Amino acid sequence: MNRFAKKSADRMTAVLERARDYAVPVDGGAAPTLIALAAVDVNPDQPRRHFDEAALRELASSIAAQGVLQPIMVRPVGSRYQIVFGERRFRASQLAGLTSIPALVKTVPDADLPVLAALENLQRADLNRFEEVRAKVHLLAELFGVAPDDVPGELRRLRAQPDEQPERVAAVEQLFAQLGGEQWRSFVVNGLPVLRLADLLRAEVEAGRLAYSKALLIARTPAEHHAALVRRTVTEGLSQVDLQKEIKLLSPREDADTVTGLRQRLTARRLAQLPRDRRAEAERLIRKLHDLLA
**Which residues are part of the catalytic machinery?**
87
CA dihedral over 269, 273, 274, 275, signed as positive or negative? positive
Closest among 109, 110, 91, 111 to 101, alpha carbons compared: 91
State CA 30 to chain mean position distance: 35
- The C-alpha atoms of residue 8 and residue 12 are separated, in whole angstroms, by 6
Q: Which of 184, 203, 89, 92 is nearest to 144 (CA)?
A: 184
Burial letters 72-111, b for 16+ CB under 10 A, else e = bbbbeeeeebbbbbbbbbbbbbbebebeebbbbbeebeee
Backbone angles phi, psi at 253, to 5 degrees: -105, 5
CA angle 204, 201, 155 (to 5 degrees): 110
Main-chain phi, psi angles of 40, to 5 degrees: -110, 135
**Radius of gyration of the chain, Cα coordinates, nearest whole angstrom:** 28
Angle at 123 between CA 121 and CA 125, to 5 degrees: 95
